[in-house]
Amino acid sequence: MLTRWALCALLVASALVGCTADTGDPVRLTVLADRELGDLGPLLADLRRDTGVDLVLDLRDSRDVGTGPAPGASGHDLAWVGSEALFRLRAGRGGPVPLSTSTMVSPVVVGLRPAAARRLRAVSARPSWADVADRVAAGELRLAVPDPHRSDVGLTALLGLATAAAGTGQALRAEDVTCDRLAGLRSGQEPTGPDPAAEFAARADRLDGVVDHESALLTLNASGSLDEPLELVYPRDGVVLSDFPLLLLDPGERAAYDRVVAWLLDPAHQQRIMATTARRPVDPAVPREQRLSTDVGTGMFLPESADVLDRLLAAWDEPTTAHVVFVLDFSLSMAGERAAGLRSVFGALSGTGTGGFARFHPGETLTVVRFAGQPLDERTVTVRGQPDLDRLAAAVAPDDFGRNTAIWSAVRQAYARNPTSVVLVTDGENNAGISADDLLAGLPRPAPPLFAVRIGAADPVELRRVAEATGGALVDATGGSLVDAVRGVRGC
């Protein structure tokens, strides 16, 4: 009996049409497409020859594609975006869901010049987002990062960074987003437009690396336009993949859409897409090329609601000109272990690869006020590089512990410096200088938040009362790590 496949074989042999993608009536479809999909150009002619469908890509920044109007309203027949999840989050869950097919995948990764990669790997053999953020904040890595407002790659990278910073092991929630964790990367990055790999290549002399899709970085490496190829870093704490769905906006074009999708998913064409664009096939059975056989590592969970994205972008936009005043108790009871703890906090935040997301970063102004029965001394630095951070760490080195504890006088001095937030670390009760009420009476309204870190026997009631009156909080370091406590309350 003649089979469908015999028929197909014949049709192929006579070069009339393919088997999985039939030529129907010639049709032209307009596609609202993410700019980076311009690299599919060479394939579109063959697609047209095999299926009769002429895809006309209208290339736009991902912002203009992803936040596009409801299906059909843009006037395009199809949309081709980077991320199904981002598209649907923006479209709003519960709204109409266009027919959609993932066509290929690529993770968002960090590409580094070999020397920069060596420096990063000296900190950690398998670097994490925290390690990357830390080195950027330290001014050691100058990284091109696409603007998350304009580019899905940038937004995806930001999601990866923020999810890693939250460290919950689950999808990012709005309440997990804290601007201070993002400020490190933001301060040291070079913002770029929607084609970071190309912009990196143009400015390669003053940059160490770039955040982009694996596909874009491999393509840049293969182009020969760099002196030496970039090394790809797949952050240990997780990567986010883009899945490049093709969406049917005009349901009336279903037949042509079916032909296009069938063609794209055909294993032979999946292979060609891979060879042409360096994106990974969506078909698990298509073997990956050598350059795409790298283990991408752990996949990060994506948030399930759009307000997380809004919150994230808002946090990214927070100014990085923070001025944090640390008010540190140097009364006698702090001598020994507690002072050693304080110094290790400053060591960690000033950066030897252990500060992670919370470390001090360029652009930030930091003041240290040490006090006992009265303010002992005060030092302010604006961070531009490591020497500034070294000076800051030196400010907590002296061993001149004093009698008595004038907490609120020292805090008043801190507020006089016009800070964005105040971090108080104490182990005692106020027994000198002004009272808490005196302080509160003199504060501006609204006052910048005071975060009170309580060590040992310090009175929690009064500390909490003042902290909460300023919109800050009491953090208990009594049983836990002082480093974690201080990291948790930097604010922005």
Partner 1 sequence: MAEEPTLLVVRPRSVLRRKRFTWVLVPAVLVAVVGAITLSTNGGVTAPIPDVVVVEAKMASKEDFFNDAVVRRVLMENGIQVHLTATGSREVATGDLGGYDFVFPSGQPAALLIKQQRKAERRFVKPHKPFFSPVVLGTYRAYADALVEAGVATPQPGVEPPMYYNVNLAGFLGLTRAGKTWQGLGGDAPLGNGNRVLAQTSDVCYSNSAGTYMGMAAFAVNDRRPPADEAEAVALAEEIRPLLTAQGFPGDDMAQAYLAPEGRGLAPVSVFYEHQFLAHQVRTKDLHGGPDSDRVLLYPEDQVQAVPELIALTPNGERVGELVTNDPRLRRRALELGFRVFETDDVSTSGEFGAFLREKRLPMPVSGIGDTETFLPPLDLLEKMIKTVGRC
Local structure of 393: helix, strand or coil: helix
Applying CB under 8 A, which of residues 299, 319, 387, 456 lies at the interface with partner 1? 299
Which residues in the 156-175 window bind partner 1 by CB under 8 A? Answer: 167-172
Q: Helix H segments across 174-277?
A: 179-188, 196-202, 214-223, 254-265, 267-277
Of 341, 318, 336, 314, nearest to 421 by C-alpha is 318
Tell me if 29 sits within 8 A of 48, measured CB to CB.
Answer: no
Tell me if 420 sits within 8 A of 443, measured CB to CB.
Answer: no
Tell me if 68 sits within 8 A of 58, measured CB to CB.
Answer: no
Q: Which two tokens stand for residue 402?
A: 């004093």
Stretch that binds partner 1, among 36-44, 93-101, 309-317, 439-447 (CB under 8 A): 93-101
Stretch that binds partner 1, among 232-240, 349-357, 404-412, 429-437 (CB under 8 A): 232-240
Contact mark string toward partner 1, 245..274, x via CB under 8 A: x---------x-xxx-xx--xx--------
Nearer to partner 1, 255 or 335 (CB): 255
Parallel, antiparallel or unpaired: strands 189-192 and 143-146: parallel
Q: Is 73 exposed, middle or buried (0-12, 13-18, 19+ CB in 10 A)?
A: exposed
Contact mark string toward partner 1, 276..295, x via CB under 8 A: ----x-x-xx--x----x-x
Applying CB under 8 A, which of residues 60, 121, 272, 301 lies at the interface with partner 1? 301
Of 166, 170, 134, nearest to 361 by C-alpha is 134
Stretch that binds partner 1, among 25-33, 100-108, 196-204, 405-413 (CB under 8 A): 100-108
Distance CA 112, CA 140 (A): 12
Indicate the Cα dihedral angle 484, 487, 491, 492, nearest 10°.
-160
Q: How far is the CB of 292 from partner 1 (least distance, A)?
A: 9
Residue with tokens 């899945």: 243
AA identity, residue 382: T
Question: How many other C-beta atoms lie within 10 A of the C-beta of residue 295?
Answer: 6
Contact mark string toward partner 1, 23..42, x via CB under 8 A: -x------------------
Of 409, 412, 425, nearest to 476 by C-alpha is 425
Local structure of 464: helix, strand or coil: helix
Q: Is residue 334 a contact residue for partner 1 (CB under 8 A)?
A: no
Q: Is residue 50 a contact residue for partner 1 (CB under 8 A)?
A: no
- Cα 477 to its chain centre, rounded Å, is 29
Tell me if 329 sits within 8 A of 482, measured CB to CB.
Answer: no
Q: Is residue 3 a contact residue for partner 1 (CB under 8 A)?
A: yes
Nearer to partner 1, 96 or 456 (CB): 96
Q: Is residue 15 a contact residue for partner 1 (CB under 8 A)?
A: no
Q: How far is the CB of 241 from partner 1 (least distance, A)?
A: 7
Nearer to partner 1, 22 or 34 (CB): 22
Q: Which two tokens stand for residue 121?
A: 């790997």
Nearer to partner 1, 5 or 206 (CB): 5
Q: Is residue 224 a contact residue for partner 1 (CB under 8 A)?
A: no
- Cα 256 to its chain centre, rounded Å, is 38
Which residues in the 374-433 window bind partner 1 by CB under 8 A? Answer: none
Distance CA 232, CA 217 (A): 8
Stretch that binds partner 1, among 134-142, 233-241, 380-388, 403-411 (CB under 8 A): 233-241
Q: Is residue 297 a contact residue for partner 1 (CB under 8 A)?
A: yes
Q: Is residue 302 a contact residue for partner 1 (CB under 8 A)?
A: yes
Q: Is residue 70 a contact residue for partner 1 (CB under 8 A)?
A: no
Q: Is residue 340 a contact residue for partner 1 (CB under 8 A)?
A: no
Q: Can you spell out the DSSP letters for 225-241?
A: -SSSPPEEE--TT-B-E
Phi, psi torsion values for 311, nearest 5 degrees: -60, -40
Q: How far is the CB of 21 from partner 1 (least distance, A)?
A: 7
Q: What is the CA radius of gyration of the chain?
A: 28
Q: How far is the CB of 3 from partner 1 (least distance, A)?
A: 5
Stretch that binds partner 1, among 238-246, 309-317, 329-337, 389-397 (CB under 8 A): 238-246
Q: Is residue 98 a contact residue for partner 1 (CB under 8 A)?
A: yes
Q: Which residues contact 244 (CB under 8 A, 6 or more apart)?
A: 37, 80, 81, 82, 83, 102, 103, 104, 105, 106, 279
Q: Is residue 99 a contact residue for partner 1 (CB under 8 A)?
A: yes
Nearer to partner 1, 65 or 296 (CB): 296
Which residues in the 117-156 window bind partner 1 by CB under 8 A? Answer: none
Applying CB under 8 A, which of residues 31, 33, 81, 89 lies at the interface with partner 1? 89
Nearer to partner 1, 50 or 388 (CB): 50
Binding site for partner 1 (CB under 8 A): 1-8, 10-11, 14, 16-17, 19-22, 24, 84-85, 88-89, 93-94, 97-102, 105, 167-172, 236-239, 241, 245, 255, 257-259, 261-262, 265-266, 280, 282, 284-285, 288, 293, 295-304
